[in-house]
């Protein structure tokens, strides 16, 4: 029998944030593949902003904010600052990359090992 991969071990848990004007903690669930791809594309485009027109920068920024608000519906009506957008993008990106360390450890590998790549 081949080795069983425990997928539950790589599914990220929800995170919680607080936002001014919203009572209580807001649950941030792991983003979907589509949300990750949209945010990644926006981030990549914005990383090349010297090549973009002002309209393209605005469009990609708006798309990024909308993707984040799609992930966290409680923020739909909020005007998010650039610092908040950056932090939420970081949190969501981190959640999109599963911690594979437990599975690698089972195989006797470390993340730096070329076999783990």
Residue 13 phi/psi, 5° resolution? -85, 160
Q: Supply the range of the domain harboring residue 77.
A: 7-116
DSSP secondary structure code for residue 98 in this structure: -
Residue 100 lies inside a defined structural domain of this protein: yes
Residue 85 lies inside a defined structural domain of this protein: yes
Residue 49 lies inside a defined structural domain of this protein: yes
pLDDT in tens, 35-69: 999 999 999 999 998 999 999 999 999 999 999 99
Spatial distance between the Cα atoms of 49 and 112, rounded to a whole number of angstroms: 32
Residue 1 lies inside a defined structural domain of this protein: no
Alpha helices in the chain (DSSP H): 33-46, 54-71, 82-96, 101-106
Spatial distance between the Cα atoms of 19 and 81, rounded to a whole number of angstroms: 12
Spatial distance between the Cα atoms of 30 and 36, rounded to a whole number of angstroms: 9
Residue 67 lies inside a defined structural domain of this protein: yes
Residue 57 lies inside a defined structural domain of this protein: yes
Residue 2 lies inside a defined structural domain of this protein: no
Residue 104: closest CA among 1, 2, 5:
5
Question: Residue 13, class by beta-carbon neighbours within 10 Å (0-12 exposed, 13-18 middle, 19+ buried)?
Answer: exposed
Question: CA 55 from chain center: how many Å?
Answer: 25
pLDDT in tens, 88-114: 999 999 888 766 666 666 666 665 545
pLDDT in tens, 2-48: 778 777 777 888 999 999 999 999 999 999 999 999 999 999 999 99
Total domains, the chain: 1
Residue 73 lies inside a defined structural domain of this protein: yes
Average pLDDT over residues 61-83: 96
């Amino acid at each position: 029998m081949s080795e069983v991969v425990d997928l539950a071990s790589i599914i990220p848990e929800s995170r919680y944030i607080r936002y001014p004007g919203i009572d209580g903690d807001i649950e941030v669930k792991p983003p979907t593949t589509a949300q990750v791809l949209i945010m990644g594309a926006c981030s990549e485009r914005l990383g090349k902003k010297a090549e973009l027109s002002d309209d393209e920068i605005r469009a990609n920024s708006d798309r990024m904010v909308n993707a984040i608000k799609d992930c966290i519906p409680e923020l739909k009506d909020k005007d998010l600052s650039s610092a908040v957008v950056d932090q939420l993008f970081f949190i969501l990106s981190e959640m999109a990359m599963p911690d594979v360390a437990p599975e690698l450890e089972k195989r006797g590998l470390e993340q730096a090992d070329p076999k783990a790549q």
